[in-house]
Amino acid sequence: MNKTLVALALTTLGTLALQPASAQDTSLSFFITSAGPGKGAELGGLAGADAHCEKLAAAAGAGSRTWRAYLSTSAKGGQAAVNARDRIGSGPWYNAKGVKVAENVADLHSDNNKLGKQGSLTEKGGVVNGRGDDPNMHDILTGTQLDGSAFSDGEDHTCSNWTSSGEGSAQVGHHDRQGGGQNPTSWHSAHGSRGCSQSDLQGTGGNGYFYCFAAK
């Protein structure tokens, strides 16, 4: 009887050992918006931007996740600043082609990430126009410093916390990792925009697009 039980246990263990480990979920968890709301940098604040991410993700079949826009806001009206890096979960994140663009938050903000024109795709898997394309759309709204945090210098880097389509400026990154500005190869903090209107964003190489990450 004991020998039978031992043999059964060994057989069970052997079967389990032969089973493959659970595969990593490589479904869509990061994208650049294929379209903005159409009001320049007036996104309806963080809530409006998140809702836009959710809408686009749902249309792409990824609506079951919790989506967050990679945007920072400044301290204003008694509200504390919000850091983009703190909004997006812990990773890893994959684009629409199943390519891992970053393992975690630290990796995302390091030189090791796989972001760039061929990695930073839309929710549909499309490549966004970059420098040299007509029109250039490589300016991506972030309002964020190089470390992924909000600015604290008292200047407007977020178009009034994503509620203005007129006066102000928004810090943008270059999704193709090239161009001009203080940090031309930065995907999230290259330079400030000319203004907050759709025409101003387009005039400096953007189109009102921003990054979306699956926080869960």
Look at residue 24 in the predicted model and tell me its pLDDT: 81
Kindly report the pTM of this predicted structure.
0.89
> How many angstroms separate the CA atoms of 135 and 125, rounded?
19
Tens-digit pLDDT profile for residues 33-67: 999 999 999 999 999 999 999 999 999 999 999 99
How many Å from the N-terminal Cα to the C-terminal Cα in the chain? 49
Give 3's pLDDT tier (boundaries 50, 70, 90): low
- At position 122, the amino acid (one-letter code) is T
d(CA 31, CA 212): 5
What the chain holds in terms of domains, given with CATH numbers, is 24-214 (3.10.100.10)
Q: CA–CA separation, 170 vs 159, rounded Å?
A: 5
Q: For residues 202 and 10, which has the higher predicted lDDT (pLDDT)?
A: 202
126-179 pLDDT per residue, tens: 999 999 999 999 999 999 999 999 999 999 999 999 999 999 999 999 999 999
